[in-house]
Amino acid sequence: MGSVKDLEVIRKPTPESMGVGRFHFSDRYSVFDWGEMPDHIEGKGAAICLMGAYCFEMLERRGIKTHYRGLMDGKGRIVHFDELEEPTNIMEINLVNVYRPKAYVENGKLKYDYSIYTPNLKNYLLPLEIIYRNGLPEGSSIFKRLEQGLVTLKELGLDHMPKPGERLAKPIFDVSTKLEESDRYITWEEAQRIAGLTEQEVEEVKSILLKVDETITEIAGEAGLVNEDGKIELAFDPERQLMVVDVVGTLDECRFTYNGFHVSKEVARIYYRRTEWAKEVDEAKKKSREQGIEDWKTLVKTKPPKLEPKLKTLISQMYMATANEITKRRFFETPKLADILKDLQTYFQH
C-alpha cells in the first residue's frame, strides 16, 4: 500500500522473472512526503489511472519499454485504453524486485548502505527518482536548493541565476533518492554508484528521460498545457533492459501550467505551504538530517489540516477535467479545465 495507490500482487517477481501486479489508484493524496493526508479527492484515482495509461501506451508506440500491461474494465478484462468504455482506477503492470538500502547511523548522521546494487543485478527497481525540468515555475525546489547552496549553477548547466517562471533553453536533468526515509537530491555520479549502473547505462537513463519528456510535452501541449517538470522511475527487466515503471504523465508526477497557473498537485501544496503544519514539516526534515533521526515525522506535533471544501471540489474537478483533455475523451462530467482554473485563481487571490 502506498500513500496514494495500493498494489495488488497477482504473481510475485523472482530474482529471474517479473511478476504481475495491479495498481488500484485511490482518491488519497500526499504532499511533502507526508503520506496519506486527511481528505480524499473525488475522481482523482481514476483520472490519474487514465492519464498514466494513455501516456504509457504513447511511450510504447514510440519504442520505449514500460511495465504497463493494460487497464481493467468493468467486466474484469484487461484492455487497451481505446477499448475502455468507462473510467477505471485499476492498471495491470509487470512487477520487479524492490531492494531497500539498509539505514545506519554514522557519527550521528543517517546513512544508507546500497551495496546490494551491482552491475550484475537484474530485475529490480532503480532506487532513484529521475527528474526533467523544462522550466522553473514558482515553487520549484531549484530556487530553495540554490539559495541554500545545495546545488550550483554549474551543476545545473545554467549560466545565470534563474527567475521563477523561466523557461529553459534545454532541460535540466536531476536525480534524487527514492527508497530513503526522505528523498534527497544527489549528483549523477552518486546515482550511478548507488544504483549499480555502468557509465553507458547512465547515458541510457538520460536518453529515456529525454524521450519521455518530449512525449509528455507533446501530449500536454495538445491539451493546452505546458510541461514544466516531471519525474519518472526506471527498472531493469530480467535481461537488464531499462523500462519505465510506476506511472508517468499525471498531475502527481508532472508539474503542468496553463497560462502560468499550476495544473498539478502543486495546487494542494500552495494551500498547505501557508499552514503551521508545513513549517513544522520543514523543520523536522532539517533536524532529522542533522541529528540522524530516521523517522522525521515523529518530530511533527501538528496534524495536517483538511482542505477547505470549495478548494477540495475545485482540485477534484481539475484532475477529472485534465484527464478528459489529455486523453481527448470525455470520461468525466465536469466543467472545462480553463473554467476550473479561473475559479482556482480567484480562490487563491482571496
Query: What pLDDT, in 10s, does the model give residues 218-273?
Result: 999 999 999 999 999 999 999 999 999 999 999 999 999 999 899 999 899 999 99
Q: How many residues are recorded in the chain?
A: 350
Contacts of 191 (CB under 8 A, 6+ apart): 128, 175, 197, 202
- Helix, strand, or coil here: 57? helix
Give how far Cα 120 sits from Cα of 197, 202, 234, 242, 281, Å: 9, 15, 16, 14, 39
User: Which pLDDT score is estimated for 258?
Assistant: 95
User: Which pLDDT score is estimated for 59?
Assistant: 98
User: Which pLDDT score is estimated for 85?
Assistant: 94
Q: Between β-strands 185-186 and 124-125, what pairing exists: parallel, antiparallel or unpaired? A: unpaired
Measured from the Cβ of residue 345, the count of other Cβ atoms closer than 10 Å reads 14
Round to whole Å and give the CA distance between 199 and 203: 7
Residue 270 burial by Cβ neighbours in a 10 Å radius (0-12, 13-18, 19+) = middle
Find, among 81, 47, 77, the residue nearest to 61 by Cα.
81
List phi, psi (to 5°) of 133. -130, 120
Find, among 121, 70, 71, the residue nearest to 98 by Cα.
121
Domain ranges of the chain: 5-349
94-124 tens-digit pLDDT: 999 999 999 998 888 889 999 999 999 999 9
Q: Are 213 and 230 in contact (CB under 8 A)?
A: yes
Domain 5-349 has CATH 3.40.50.620: no
159-176 tens-digit pLDDT: 899 999 899 999 999 999
**pTM above 0.85?**
yes
